[in-house]
């Protein structure tokens, strides 16, 4: 094994060890901000390591939760809002309409308000993966290499 291959192995190992920590930080930030309606976004967060690259993935709508939506933007997907309304068990007050009709109407009204007024950004990604967390990851990589460098030299002798 070359020295470069050994370094890549060490980095890959640390990334695999610390990936759960980064994923947990993202999940905890969403929970801290009370962004757990269905739990789908939280459950969707995962990581993969390929060589020296870690990829964190999550549900597509995480973008809107993180960055928010600008006022006067296009209408959000009503089906997603309807699922959220049903999960929350929301209904219209003093309505004689069926539950399904109430939730459809409420979904439309919420969507219209989001399109008109936008929704604020949570910035949960930046808050969870702040520079100190990423610096700590770098420190773990360097410390792992420092602790194990003798093994590489001794194995090549």
Q: What token pair was written down for 27?
A: 């999940």
| CA terminus-to-terminus distance, the chain | 12
Residue-level pLDDT at 154: 76
Do residues 39 and 99 share a domain? Answer: no
Residue numbers in the chain where pLDDT is lower than 50: 157
Do residues 64 and 3 share a domain? Answer: yes
| Total domains, the chain | 2
Do residues 49 and 8 share a domain? Answer: yes
Do residues 135 and 148 share a domain? Answer: yes
Segments forming the whole domain that contains residue 18: 1-68+120-157
**Which residue from 149, 80, 81, 136 is spatially nearest to 109, judged by alpha carbons?**
81
Do residues 56 and 2 share a domain? Answer: yes
* DSSP letter assigned to residue 38: S
Do residues 64 and 2 share a domain? Answer: yes
Do residues 104 and 124 share a domain? Answer: no
Residue-level pLDDT at 156: 57
Which residues, listed in sequence order, are joined to residue 52 by a DSSP beta bridge?
A: none
Residue-level pLDDT at 37: 79
Q: How far apart are CA 48 and CA 105, in angstroms?
A: 40
**What torsion, rounded to 10 degrees, do the Cα atoms 61, 65, 70, 75 define?**
40
Do residues 59 and 75 share a domain? Answer: no
Residue-level pLDDT at 157: 44
Q: Which long-range contacts (CB under 8 A, 24 or more apart) does 8-13 make?
A: 8/51, 8/52, 10/141, 10/144, 10/145, 10/148, 11/51, 11/52, 11/141, 11/145, 12/49, 12/51, 12/52, 13/144
């Amino acid at each position: 094994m070359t020295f470069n291959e050994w370094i890549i192995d060490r980095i890959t190992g640390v990334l695999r060890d610390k990936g759960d920590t980064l994923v947990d930080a993202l999940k905890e930030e969403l929970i801290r901000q009370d962004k757990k309606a269905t739990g789908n976004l939280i459950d969707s967060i995962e990581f993969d390591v390929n060589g020296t690259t870690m990829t964190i993935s999550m549900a597509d709508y995480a973008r809107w939760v993180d960055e928010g939506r600008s006022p006067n933007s296009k209408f959000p997907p009503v089906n997603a809002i309807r699922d959220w309304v049903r999960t929350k068990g929301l209904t219209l007050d003093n309505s004689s309409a069926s539950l399904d009709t109430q939730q459809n109407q409420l979904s439309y009204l919420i969507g219209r308000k989001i399109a008109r007024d936008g929704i604020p950004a949570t910035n949960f990604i930046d808050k969870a993966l702040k520079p100190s967390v990423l610096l700590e990851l770098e420190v773990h990589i360097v410390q792992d290499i420092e602790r194990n460098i003798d093994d590489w030299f001794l194995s090549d002798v």
